[in-house]
């Protein structure tokens, strides 16, 4: 939760954690009261001796799943789902085993087996997991059990068990990928482990615990050389990761003791005094950087003064104590640390100066991103080219950096670079997303979302989709009283499987079917998650259109912007509620709803504020209220809706105006930065669907000075 925000929301990141991840843990899902009540309403459960002896066996009746002639419309195993779920919550393995038998070859037979095995995950033999994964091959629960098991065993250091199930994990998230890599890093396949090196080795931002563990243990991988170790050591010195510093320095033949690091932590000045009287040494170069890093943690300004003083002093010495490499990386530390304080202290081009002084040393992605962001903010186009050029090839090819490379080349006096800029814009303009829309405007292309009518889908595609076991499970769960998280997981998995098969016709058929049922968030997901598939009437539906248009006009705001906010906040799930209490289609916080009601002369009612009609009316009024407080600037107002108006103001330029794309790219909170991009993208599409097409550049405008 951002510190001063009134409105919380389901951002792409948050929303994905809740619904996009195909393998959320069942233990995170609360059992419904109704499910508990259902136990015993059908045939009584008798725990047989077979069940008691077979707790780590898979019920043999399921071996034929899913059958050669599926008839999913008549599948009855869904009727036992909630009962089995309740048994799983009670950790009643005997009952779960019986449900496996009762659900026969049905669509959901794997669920009680999964819940039973997952209850004792840490004690399972890997053979049981691989048996389950083989038996239910291709299902999301087969993937989930193997992935859960790999994580559990990696955390316990049982890497042999991880390796035995690794080939059953195909769609891993970051933590699971690191779990599998840990298994191979500690035996079997060093190459398979090293494949994650670009993701974890030089990362200093927060990452899953198993990824941090992998980076630490990768120090012993035979494919890691001393150049790699030194680069990681420099980053660990910057952030002060004591354990890694000790291990890496030992591997490099210059061991640094914990006591040396501890002394610097307590009294950096004492080390600097000693440093000036001691001969140049490799260890002292490392300890100097560690000292500057700890000083920068307390005050980057004091650290900067110290670095400048030390270098000036050193320049007067016949024998230099601070190597050129150390000087450069000391400035790198300052540049990175300065970028942490753009919200509290405001933006300052001193960060660019420090990054320039660090040129000559390799950048990791985070450092290059910070350098690029500072360059964008202050229109330092040559620095931006340098920053992008310091990224690896994969990063440079990302649309974000292709767009900004084109922006930098566009400013050049070199005609060849201007021509290259236009070529990049033309390539990006093939995409109907934030950077694609900006690129379209650069080359004068007009965007059209096409018809608001949903596409006609042949009945053959619909029938084929309904006979797909993954979609069949998703729709059966949606139509039942089961917790929606299970339906969402099955849906996401079904879309993935269709995507893997390049079956866009099935994806469109599923999206339209879900749309017609009112399952809009998953209908949207199906289109959004499939590259190159544009079906805007499905990906950008317009429910409650009369209310949205009417209340937006009453509030004096653009209905397309209101839809852009609503889609990003809730994906049109009216019951959506965030972890901090924001609720409804517009994700309004209770205190904000009270503020709105008071200003509208109404008595606050929580239930009414969360209802569709009132939530839309309150949300559009609040958008107008923020807009008025933020210079009637929609980009500022969008940032304010997410992070709070005060934060949006803090990110404004102090003097002069700033291009809106530069403001957005330099928003200090990644969540808000992404949020604003997605809302502007959404609003551009909705403006076309509503018949009032407004190019994104025109919509975003220019950001005025804040003072």
The helix/strand/coil state of 583 is: strand
The tokens describing 418, both together, are: 């201007």
**Is residue 86 within 8 Å of residue 482, measured between CB atoms?**
no
The catalytic residue among 83, 100, 547, 569 is 569
**DSSP readout, 147-193?**
HHHHHHHHHHT-HHHHHHHGGG--S--HHHHHHHHHHHHTTT-HHHH
3-state secondary structure 253-320: CCCCCHHHHHHHHHCHHHHHHHHCCCCCCHHHHHHHHHHHHHHHHHCHHHHHHHHHHHHHHHHCCCCC
Pair type for strands 702-703 and 658-659: antiparallel
Q: Please, how many CA atoms are within 13 Å of residue 169, restricted to the half-sphere of its CB?
A: 26
Token look-up 């769960």 returns 477
Rounded to whole angstroms, the Cα distance separating 376 from 381 reads 7
Nearest to 14 by CA among 526, 580, 507: 580
**Is residue 373 within 8 Å of residue 400, measured between CB atoms?**
no
What is the C-alpha end-to-end distance of the chain, expressed in Å? 27
Nearest to 624 by CA among 565, 695, 696: 565
* Residue 219 neighbours by CB distance under 10 Å: 19
Rounded to whole angstroms, the Cα distance separating 45 from 205 reads 51
**Is residue 654 within 8 Å of residue 707, measured between CB atoms?**
yes
Catalytic residue status for 151: no
**DSSP readout, 440-483?**
HHHHTPPP----SSPPP--HHHHHHHHTSHHHHHHHHHHTSSS-
The tokens describing 213, both together, are: 């563990």
- Residues facing residue 588 across a β-bridge: 583
**Rounded to a whole number, what is the largest CA-CA distance in the chain?**
91
**Is residue 642 within 8 Å of residue 5, measured between CB atoms?**
yes
User: Exposed/middle/buried for 430, CB within 10 Å: 0-12, 13-18, 19+?
Assistant: exposed
The helix/strand/coil state of 590 is: helix
Cis amide bond preceding 353, omega within 30: no
What values do phi and psi take at 21, rounded to 5? -60, 125
Rounded to whole angstroms, what are the CA distances from 677 to 434, 625, 672, 685?
A: 6, 21, 9, 13
User: Exposed/middle/buried for 529, CB within 10 Å: 0-12, 13-18, 19+?
Assistant: middle
Rounded to whole angstroms, the Cα distance separating 86 from 66 reads 24
Q: H or E segment at 659? A: strand 658-659
The conformation of residue 505, written as its DSSP 8-state character, comes to H
Q: H or E segment at 658? A: strand 658-659
Q: At what angle do helices 545-555 and 612-629 cross, to 10 degrees?
A: 30
Active-site residue list: 569
């Amino acid at each position: 939760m951002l510190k001063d925000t009134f409105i919380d929301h389901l951002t792409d990141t948050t929303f994905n954690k809740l619904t996009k991840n195909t393998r959320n843990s069942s233990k995170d899902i609360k059992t419904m009261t109704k499910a508990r009540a259902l136990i015993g309403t059908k045939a009584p459960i008798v725990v047989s001796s077979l069940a008691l002896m077979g707790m780590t066996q898979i019920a043999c009746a399921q071996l034929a799943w899913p059958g050669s002639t599926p008839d999913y419309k008549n599948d009855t195993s869904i009727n036992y789902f909630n009962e089995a779920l309740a048994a799983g919550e009670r950790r009643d393995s005997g009952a779960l085993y019986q449900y496996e038998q009762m659900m026969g070859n049905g669509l959901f037979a794997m669920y009680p087996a999964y819940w039973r095995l997952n209850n004792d995950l840490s004690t399972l033999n890997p053979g049981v997991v691989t048996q389950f994964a083989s038996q239910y091959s291709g299902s999301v629960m087969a993937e989930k059990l193997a992935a859960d098991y790999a994580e559990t065993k990696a955390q316990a250091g049982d890497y042999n068990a991880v390796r035995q199930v690794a080939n059953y994990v195909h769609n891993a998230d970051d933590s699971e990928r690191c779990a599998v890599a840990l298994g191979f890093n500690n035996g079997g396949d060093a190459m398979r482990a090293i494949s994650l090196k670009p993701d974890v080795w030089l990362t200093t931002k927060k990452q899953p615990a198993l990824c941090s563990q992998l980076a630490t243990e990768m120090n012993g991988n035979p494919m890691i050389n001393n150049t790699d170790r030194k680069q990681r050591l420099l980053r660990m010195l910057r952030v002060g990761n004591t354990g890694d510093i000790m291990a890496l320095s030992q591997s490099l033949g210059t061991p640094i003791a914990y006591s040396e690091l501890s002394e610097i932590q307590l009294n950096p000045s004492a080390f600097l005094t000693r440093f000036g009287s001691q001969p140049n040494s490799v260890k002292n170069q490392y300890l100097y950087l560690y000292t500057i890093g700890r000083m920068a943690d307390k005050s980057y300004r004091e650290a900067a003064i110290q670095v400048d003083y030390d270098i000036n002093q050193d320049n007067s010495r016949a024998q230099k104590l601070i190597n050129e490499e150390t000087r450069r990386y000391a400035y790198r530390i300052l540049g990175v640390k300065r970028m942490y304080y753009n919200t509290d202290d405001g933006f300052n081009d001193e960060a660019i100066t420090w990054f320039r002084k660090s040129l000559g040393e390799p950048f990791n992605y985070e450092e290059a991103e910070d350098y690029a962001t500072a360059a964008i903010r202050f229109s330092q186009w040559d620095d931006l080219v340098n920053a992008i050029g310091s990224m690896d090839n994969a990063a440079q090819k990302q649309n974000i950096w292709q767009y900004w490379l084109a922006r930098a080349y566009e400013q050049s006096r070199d005609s060849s670079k201007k021509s290259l800029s236009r070529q990049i814009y033309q390539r990006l303009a093939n995409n109907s997303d934030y950077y694609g829309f900006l690129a379209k405007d650069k080359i004068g292309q007009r965007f059209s979302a096409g018809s608001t009518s949903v596409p006609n889908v042949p009945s053959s595609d619909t029938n084929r989709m309904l006979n797909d076991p993954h979609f069949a499970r998703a729709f059966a769960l949606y139509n039942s009283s089961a917790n929606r998280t299970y339906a969402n997981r099955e849906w996401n998995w079904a879309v993935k499987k269709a995507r893997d098969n390049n079956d866009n016709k099935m994806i469109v058929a599923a999206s339209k079917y879900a749309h017609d049922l009112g399952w809009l968030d998953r209908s949207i997901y199906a289109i959004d998650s499939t590259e190159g598939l544009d079906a805007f009437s499905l990906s950008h539906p317009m429910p409650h259109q009369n209310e949205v248009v009417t209340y937006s006009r009453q509030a004096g705001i653009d209905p397309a912007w209101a839809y852009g906010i609503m889609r990003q906040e809730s994906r049109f799930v009216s019951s959506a509620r965030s972890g901090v209490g924001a609720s409804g289609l517009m994700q309004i916080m209770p205190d904000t709803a009270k503020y709105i009601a008071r200003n509208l002369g109404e008595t606050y009612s929580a239930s009414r504020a969360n209802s569709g009609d009132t939530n839309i009316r309150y949300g559009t009024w609040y958008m107008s209220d923020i807009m008025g407080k933020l210079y009637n600037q929609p980009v500022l107002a969008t940032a304010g809706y997410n992070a709070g108006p005060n934060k949006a103001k803090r990110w404004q330029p102090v003097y002069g105006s700033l291009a809106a794309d530069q403001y957005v790219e330099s928003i200090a909170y990644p969540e808000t930065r992404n949020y604003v991009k997605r809302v502007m993208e959404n609003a551009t599409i909705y403006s076309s669907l509503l018949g009032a097409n407004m190019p994104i550049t025109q919509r975003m405008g220019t950001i005025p000075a804040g003072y």
